[in-house]
Structure 1
């Protein structure tokens, strides 16, 4: 027996295709069915790697009596939040407003018009810790609808109205260099001095904030601010790299740590985290050249290319938190956890066993559940021990015999944009042309598959593009990555494609305050139009657009693009001072605009000439974040930074520019570095 979800492209929806629940996807037909029957909608939102989504599915959605209640009294709609972030955002706002918290699975009851009137997250099969059972909730909502539906409709419409009004906030303004010390002090107040990161448990990688801090650490501000920003960013990156949140055997980061010390993660691995973190470790490596940071870069890229790449060449969305344990039962973290007997069987050598137990902190009691431990590597020198590389290979081989976590292999445009950007830059910085080739292949897959009739689609799977239109972050993050490819490959076609994406963004997502809506003006109409300027696990559509317009402006020299970026940043500038943990990319933009200027660097020469390549490589390693570096022959077609540039005495020549004004050309790398250090601040 299968339900309507059997025809879905989302792996998460397909996981529910054999439920006895008569699921619908989020479609006009589903809403019309609720109106025809005059029954509430049961909206269930989750994603494939979500542990508690699996638990609720097993307990309730696979249970025939529960399914019968649902089918009799509701029109059930299942949504993959990764595929429909617009639907998720609108009803998450409602859930948080009504309950004070949110999360997934998200369970919301709607009127047939789509207005929310009851919301929650995970509901257990039986009453537990003060939570009613899911069956009790279903009964209570069905009874209330039967007896008081007019009151419910009126109250739900009022909730929708209030949510719409509350979404309008005046956060426009300006932030300058003088505000950056205050912003840092706000962040220091939340900084975990013992473990790195911000706040307590659970603790998420603060990816967007760290980008702002890394830029601040080299800015033209007082020494205290620079030094503290550098310390917070580097120590947090080191702490995550040494903890259980990082896969010490294969590379890649889990979504978050359930404790404050990065010891035990929630084991799902998300593509967006690893794209953002790869970019951050690259940024830190440029500043520190720390060997542990470089190892994380290499291992994370290896993991991406081994585990996450799809047949189409783009990257899959996530790996599941759960996998079958020794008894075949799906268990969170089963693939990643170890006890002493596991290590002994894998290593077969007492010296190696003792080394691993000590250095990886595998305890008798276990750092995780059931006496098992994550692998940590707290000693920064342990990785340099000649024994570790052999131990790592042996443990990886042993782990390879375990049942692997499932992979959500749908391709999400925005998340691929993050990875393509970081992967291309990593390839350029670390002299790995194969990485650049992989980035180009992924970008080509996105363009050829997701660009349909002049618009970007958000998802695809198995070479079949999904129906969902791209959101603002899809357009902006893919555009940002495409400019990076134009830089590192020298092929201007990527810049032209970036422009096409940003033209759609400007034409169809523009907001009256100068910012951007999250959905297009011709997208499906929901109870309100999402417009969230805050960064969370991923950068917002707004902050992504700010950086995308700025990067294309630097590449092309077009002032109107730079002005559009500044206007968008101004629409939410007060977030930077009021809530910097949720405005990291806007903070990064403020730092670049006011305290550490980005540069436009044209290296004129033969791209196959080693001295020319060396000059461009050196520029990429030292130029401030946000800079654009291009290498090519004089007047290379389609590359504005090379227009009118000539080589001096037949030597590779660097033109260092800022704000579209260039300094005198130089033919010596040290002279180029001197020009970079003398940019106006």
Structure 2
């Protein structure tokens, strides 16, 4: 057990039994680094992060790698949700150094906390163009020990760049132009994926604020272009595997262009913003599917992400029992055994099981086509399909509830709770749901 055993963050506690001599961020770690003139290895992540768990499993629980870390560095572990200030500063540094970012974030610092090298996930050995973590550790330690002046040459420029990025921006040079929203719409049109919704290539993030802008732009002007981009994206996300079709709520992002295969973690802030977006879209367009998605997302938060005291938890993990997505995926034979042949046939068509396995030989439930088309292909009436899907969802949800759930980060973050309270309050008024009102109060 290391020093993280005394912390309260679920993410830090996950690392409390690593053989790495982890410190939390604080004076003790920084003082030791300065007293021993030893570089700092700073690792930043969060509880629901899949690749954070992978790096822990591959490297931080490995006795040899841990011994190397302990011998050469003062090792500090930070929960980005506890210290967003540190995360923002060092993420900016990693992006300036490498032109990329993400979590887990791995940053090497001078004893004074100045970054001089960094990256994100490193595998335990060379793999797919990434250097192995032990090689990185040895090279950084050797360079800092024997070629320190050369290593630190660029730190002044890096710190100047960081200070420039972090400084308060100057006042606007030009008055706001009413043409800016139109220019933004045109820019989004150039990047819009007309077939699948969303903007740009994979991976695809939901971008609720961009979509909210499109809704506001349509309301302001009546221009059909923003409405089309919004509706295609909302529908494709609601039909994709990024949405949990059994339990409600959205996963963090999709690794493909079709919203099919998600990174399975669920974040409170995503579900706060997306539930409100679907609610507003329902109010604007009267599309029942948008109301259903908004309610199912809020019901998920109410059921699975709310503490007995009424606070909202921060996130749910991507992994359970050490496997990514295990809680959410299905084998076709599991579905048939649970539902029987008739309902399994209809639900299998509805949720893409008949399209073949789509994730490591199993199935992420998604809607490969519009429900009326699926119903016609299944040669069923709309009533038959709706009843079979309702029965099937209830049966699979009950079965899934017997599985080991992903770990939950039970921190209550004030800003994220504020976003979620707003969603419940507005939904209570718009939909007349007394239970949402109670949750908001």
- The structure 2 residue matched to 1:351, chosen from 339, 342, 363, is 342
**What is the aligned partner in structure 1 of residue 315 from structure 2?**
318
For the residues of structure 1 that align with 2:11 and 2:299, how far apart are their CA atoms?
26
**What is the aligned partner in structure 2 of residue 161 from structure 1?**
160
- The structure 2 residue matched to 1:269, chosen from 253, 266, 272, is 266
**What is the aligned partner in structure 1 of residue 332 from structure 2?**
340
Deviations 1:369-389 (A, max 9, x none): 224333336424469722221
**C-alpha displacement of 1:211:** 1.0
* Mapping 1:81-480, distance limit 5 Å: 81-167=80-166, 172=172, 173-219=174-220, 221=221, 223=222, 226-324=223-321, 330-348=322-340, 350-363=341-354, 365-376=356-367, 378-381=369-372, 385-440=386-441
Deviations 1:69-94 (A, max 9, x none): 11111110101111111111111111
Contact 2:106 2:119 in 1 (8 A): yes
TM-score of the aligned structures, taking structure 2 as reference length: 0.94
Determine helix, strand or coil for the equivalent of 2:23.
coil
Deviations 1:512-548 (A, max 9, x none): xxxxxxxxxxxxxxxxxxxxxxxxxxxxxxxxxxxxx
For the residues of structure 2 that align with 1:300 and 1:166, how far apart are their CA atoms?
36
* Mapping 1:20-35, distance limit 5 Å: 20-35=19-34
**C-alpha displacement of 1:433:** 2.1
* Mapping 1:10-89, distance limit 5 Å: 10-89=9-88
Deviations 1:117-138 (A, max 9, x none): 1111111111111211111111
TM-score of the aligned structures, taking structure 1 as reference length: 0.61
**C-alpha displacement of 1:177:** 2.9
Contact 2:245 2:365 in 1 (8 A): no
For the residues of structure 1 that align with 2:207 and 2:85, how far apart are their CA atoms?
23
**C-alpha displacement of 1:28:** 2.3
**C-alpha displacement of 1:174:** 3.7
Contact 2:217 2:226 in 1 (8 A): yes
Deviations 1:303-352 (A, max 9, x none): 1111000122111111110112xxxxx1111111112111111112x221
Determine helix, strand or coil for the equivalent of 1:411.
coil
For the residues of structure 2 that align with 1:158 and 1:201, how far apart are their CA atoms?
33
Determine helix, strand or coil for the equivalent of 2:185.
helix
Deviations 1:540-564 (A, max 9, x none): xxxxxxxxxxxxxxxxxxxxxxxxx
For the residues of structure 1 that align with 2:41 and 2:354, how far apart are their CA atoms?
45
Gaps spanning 5+ residues in structure 2: where? 376-381
In the alignment of these two chains, the number of paired residues is 429
For the residues of structure 2 that align with 1:151 and 1:130, how far apart are their CA atoms?
25
